[in-house]
Amino acid sequence: MSIESIKSPGGGLVPTNGGPLTEEQIPLAVEDVLTTTPFVDIHTHLYPPAFGKLGLWGIDELLTYHYLEAEFFRSSAAIPKQYWLLSKREQADAIWQTLFVENTPISEATRGVIAVLQAFQLPTDRAGLAEARAFFKAQTIERHIERVLQMAGVSEVVMTNDPLDPEESAVWMKGIGNHRQFRAVLRLDRILCAWSAHWQVLASLGYEVDEPASEKSRAEVRRFLMDWSARMQPVYMAVSLPDTFEYPQETAGNRLLRDAVLPACRELRIPVALMIGVRKQVNPALRLAGDAAGRANLLVLENLCREFPDNRFLVSVLSRENQHELCVYARKFSNLMPFGCWWFMNNPSIVEEITRERIEMLGTSFIPQHSDARVLEQVIYKWNNTRRTLTRILPDTYRLLSEDGRGVTRDDIQRDITRLFRSNAESWTGLHSRGSDAPTET
Ligand code: RAT
Ligand code: ZN
């Protein structure tokens, strides 16, 4: 092998001498750079060990993921009421039996479990789960987290942290140390979307708030957010909003967004993530699996980005029909960053469509994906799927560019993939700026 070439994962030679790549070399270089570049996972529901039982991992959690529960009820005679009475282990057994034994696991979420089992060289076609359970029981969580993130090619994961979740806030109040690979996000759903059910919690904590979210209340919510930001060091604040979200409109949530959340984000120099389009609990019997998606009115983005040029908005939309408009708005407002293919969008066919559209309209100025993992090992299959889809998309993009007259080098590819999967997240969020009063590393 010449010193000016490296062997790609596919076995071909990719020149590293800076010269333009041939048509055959482009896919090899893309695959190689995707494999060797660690990604930042900008939105998950994962936790480091200090959060104890809040951090989900292992085969029973993987099988009872709410994406799989929704599929289970389509293929089983079980009714939700009976299912919720089962233990976690019994639920996992029922889902394995229905979706993996009696049916072929071809859906995205079922295939994900297979890919995780395969990654740990566990059997994928047994009638029972004995081997998998024995394997996960033998792991210690600290070491397992490190190994899983390494297998997923992820250097840092961003959590979802709700200061009004009693279980979670108790952990923060104990004063946990920072984990090297986990960063916090201050989640605002209870404040912005269900204020009337939660203002009294803030009042009981000593904040002078009221139900109508009066001016004094708004200042107090801002104080609450600053207090919790000092505790969590969030890399951004976030809210999931319904498809019916409108701005401006005189609601308590909008008053709090305008006068508490956005000023706090400006002061902290962090963005707010708006995840728009969820139709909460259309079927409450399914619990977490009972939410649906709806097309939203993205005029809200026009209004917010224009009215608040000093705020930055990370935005993901849940409806396929909103994806193109999101790209158009990103072209109009540089304080808008589209991110991820969220939840019902996170299927290879749709990810491929959305990502191609974003590249064509935005170049590399967007964040293509987040995992949304709720169970640790999911990062393995979710990020593997992302890399696999990008291995199809990027070579096409570069081939077209070469045909149009601009040769593409390996350095170009490295720069683009680094920007898409690392530096857009790093420069847009507080990822690499822990405050001076941040707790020490553990
Ligand atoms: O994808 C999911 O797991 C959803 O249930 C939601 O958690 C969503 O990602 C959210 O953050 O609201
Ligand atoms: Zn999420």
Among 9-13, 21-25, 48-52, 136-140, the minimum mean pLDDT is found in: 9-13
Mean pLDDT, residues 95-107 taken together? 98
The closest-lying atom of ligand 1 relative to the alpha carbon of residue 187 is 11
Mutational pocket test of ligand 1: of 157, 186, 189, 240, the residue with most ligand atoms within 8 Å of the beta carbon: 240
Residue 288 CA: which ligand 1 atom is closest?
A: 5
pLDDT classification of 163: cutoffs 50, 70, 90: very high
What is the per-residue pLDDT for 430? 80
Q: Give the residue-averaged pLDDT of 60-70.
A: 98
Cβ–ligand 1 distance for 344 under 6 Å, the answer no
218 CB near ligand 1 (under 6 Å): no
Read off the pLDDT of each residue in 380-393 and give the average, rounded to a whole number.
Answer: 98
Contact 323, 317 (CB under 8 A): yes
Percentage of the chain beyond pLDDT 90 is: 92
The answer, yes or no, to whether residue 435 has pLDDT greater than 70, is no
Contact assessment for residue 235 and residue 272, using Cβ atoms and an 8 Å cutoff = no
Query: Do 127 and 155 form a contact (C-beta atoms < 8 A)?
Result: no
Q: What is the pLDDT at residue 15?
A: 60
Under the banding of pLDDT at 50, 70 and 90, the label for residue 187 is very high
Could you read off the pLDDT of 286-327 as tens digits, one per residue? 999 999 999 999 999 999 999 999 999 999 999 999 999 999
87 class by beta-carbon count within 10 Å (0-12 exposed, 13-18 middle, 19+ buried): exposed
398-408 residue pLDDT tens: 999 999 999 99
- How many Å apart are CA 133 and CA 135, to the nearest integer? 5
Q: Contact 312/347 with Cβ under 8 angstroms?
A: no
pTM: 0.95
Ligand 2 centre to CA of 298 (Å) is 20
Cis peptide before 271 (omega within 30 of 0): no
**Three-state DSSP string of 90-115:** HHHHHHHHHHHHCCCCCCHHHHHHHH
What is the DSSP secondary structure assignment for residue 56, as one 8-state letter?
B
The answer on pLDDT for 440 being more than 70 is no
Distinct helix (H) and strand (E) counts, the chain: 20, 11
